[in-house]
Amino acid sequence: MAFYSDDVLQDLKQQTNIADIIQQFVPLKRSGSGRFVGRCPFHNDHSPSMNVNTQMGIYKCFACGAGGDVFKFIMEHEKMDFKAAVEWIANATGFQLPSIHHAENPKNAEERSLVRELNDLAADWFVEQLPHSEKALGYISSRHLSKETRHFFKVGYAPDGREGFLSFAAKNGFSPRQLVEAGLAVERENGGIADKFRDRLMFAIENLSGKVVAFGGRILDKEKKAPKYLNSPDTALYKKGEILYGLSKSKNEIPKAGSVILVEGYFDMISLFQAGVKNVVAVSGTALTEKHAEILSRYTKTAYLVFDGDEAGRTATRRTIEIVLPQGIIPKIVALSRPNGEKIDPDNFVNEHGESAADDFRAELTHAEDWFSYLSRISPTDTVEDRAKFITHIKSILVNIRDSELQNQYLRILAERFGTRPDFAGIRPEKEKRKFQKEDELPQAPPKSKSPGKHSLRWNSDSSTWSSPPLLFGKRPAPSSIWISPLRESASSLPKFWTSCSALPSRNTRKQNRSI
């Protein structure tokens, strides 16, 4: 019987939050980090006897003994066979199952297993090559990585030359073409095939079950005109927006610590882990994605963002804040520096603090800045226009937070600090925005006008607040579905917008200034 391969099933299981699935049938209550309880649907349960563990991906009823993984739950609850349950879950989570009736399927399964075999072979080979390179060894010791750590993380070295791994793989029966498929070799302009990773320190990137699915290669020769980091392309096994470096090693440490530390680089992650700070993952080679955040949210609700102090680091920090908040993760920002104030990354910090690195680092975490203060501090808010832009931006982040009480708390802080209204008038959540783009029958946003027309914010002299017009689409819209005002649509329209606001009756001016 044709069926989905183990790889596909593992992927689906890893990408599925079991609590989300079970919650479609049984209300669940959080009982700890990554843990939920609910009334068991498989016996006449009066107290919540069913436990759900999102990290392990299992449920268990302590009264009747029902239990298993997410496939088992759907099979039992929906009275489906295994294949139907797999398809039901894939459909519910938007997971792309390969078509098992399609002629290409055996090829896909074959490709995945080929890529897996080649990755294993390459990982071992890179690790073996490292001691043969003085340059690589020297570099590793300058970064203070122990031999144990190096082996634990499968840090290796890809020698210079075009055919190092190619010829080793050939001896093991793999063709150059297969190496290209696995992302380990590249086609050259002259038609030949060469090793993709050459003269680079190699980091093995593992999926949650600890299987090597890709590599990141760091250049060792600073003089070379080549990118500092080179990553595997997406392959049959690897999608870079779905894998966080180091999570396979730290996934059990994160719930224990009650938080995750997000860092930028491979060395940051490994150094902290080696020093004893193990609840750490790196966002290497890519920006944090919604999928990353969703995966992390199964393990913890607190993330320390420890990115570099440069402009790129600040951009990454801002972006990460916006990505993790909707997933219910509260970001806290940590800036590491030397006693003289010079900003440093976690790897430098660990190396410079030696024996006391772990304790010193944890002490830094206690001084983390909350995300709200951080954004207030780095965003210009001196002028009315800047403040309006800032408030609209913050609200557009808050509107996506699913925990409504948390959302209210933040709105209140925003209102207190900036004298704005604690609501979302004029702001629409991301989800709704997407929905609106899809569904034609829903009212469309009016064309963006250069000057504030009837759709822009209005001053309400009774309540001393700004508001959107109440009858935007002919009927009173829910607050979350009101079209976003020109304030958010275009920052460049702000001066004009403000000019026309200034033309309001003068008796309002005092109140107006106070409330903005």
Residue ranges that bind Zn ion, judged by CB under 5 A: 40, 42-43, 61, 63-64, 66
Please count the residues of the chain: 516
Complex with Zn ion: residue 43 or 314, whichever CB lies closer: 43
CB of 77 to Zn ion, least distance (A): 12
* Residues in CB range of 95: below 8 A, 6 or more apart: 11, 12, 15, 16, 89
> In angstroms, rounded to a whole number, what is the distance separating the alpha carbons of residues 449 and 459?
19
CB of 94 to Zn ion, least distance (A): 30
CB of 63 to Zn ion, least distance (A): 5
Residue 284 identity (one-letter amino acid): S
Complex with Zn ion: residue 43 or 353, whichever CB lies closer: 43
Q: Where are the beta strands (DSSP E) in 237-335?
A: 260-263, 280-282, 302-306, 330-333
> In angstroms, rounded to a whole number, what is the distance separating the alpha carbons of residues 234 and 65?
41
CB of 93 to Zn ion, least distance (A): 25
With beta carbons less than 8 A apart as the criterion, state whether 100 and 3 touch.
yes
With beta carbons less than 8 A apart as the criterion, state whether 299 and 270 touch.
no
Q: Which residues pair with 59 in a beta bridge?
A: 52, 68
Complex with Zn ion: residue 61 or 457, whichever CB lies closer: 61
> What's the burial of 369, exposed, middle or buried (CB within 10 Å: 0-12/13-18/19+)?
middle
Complex with Zn ion: residue 9 or 58, whichever CB lies closer: 58
Complex with Zn ion: residue 58 or 193, whichever CB lies closer: 58
CA distances from 210 to 205, 247, 284, 316, 515 (A): 9, 9, 17, 27, 54
CB of 73 to Zn ion, least distance (A): 12
Complex with Zn ion: residue 71 or 267, whichever CB lies closer: 71
> In angstroms, rounded to a whole number, what is the distance separating the alpha carbons of residues 85 and 75?
6
With beta carbons less than 8 A apart as the criterion, state whether 216 and 230 touch.
yes
CB of 49 to Zn ion, least distance (A): 5
CB of 39 to Zn ion, least distance (A): 8
CB of 18 to Zn ion, least distance (A): 16
With beta carbons less than 8 A apart as the criterion, state whether 470 and 441 touch.
no
Complex with Zn ion: residue 18 or 501, whichever CB lies closer: 18
The two tokens of residue 459 are 């001053």
> In angstroms, rounded to a whole number, what is the distance separating the alpha carbons of residues 75 and 87?
11
> In angstroms, rounded to a whole number, what is the distance separating the alpha carbons of residues 295 and 161?
38
Complex with Zn ion: residue 63 or 170, whichever CB lies closer: 63
Nearest Cα to Cα of residue 154 among 213, 108, 96: 213
Which DSSP string corresponds to 85-137? HHHHHHHHHT--PPPSSSTTHHHHHHHHHHHHHHHHHHHHHHHHHGGG-HHHH
Three-state secondary structure call for residue 36:
strand
With beta carbons less than 8 A apart as the criterion, state whether 203 and 217 touch.
yes
Complex with Zn ion: residue 66 or 75, whichever CB lies closer: 66
Complex with Zn ion: residue 60 or 291, whichever CB lies closer: 60
The helix or strand, by DSSP H or E, that contains position 217, with its residue range, turns out to be strand 212-219
Q: How many helices and strands, by DSSP H and E, does the chain display?
A: 23, 18
Complex with Zn ion: residue 46 or 101, whichever CB lies closer: 46
CB of 66 to Zn ion, least distance (A): 5
CB of 55 to Zn ion, least distance (A): 21
CB of 40 to Zn ion, least distance (A): 3
Complex with Zn ion: residue 61 or 243, whichever CB lies closer: 61
DSSP 8-state secondary structure symbol assigned to residue 245: B
CB of 29 to Zn ion, least distance (A): 16
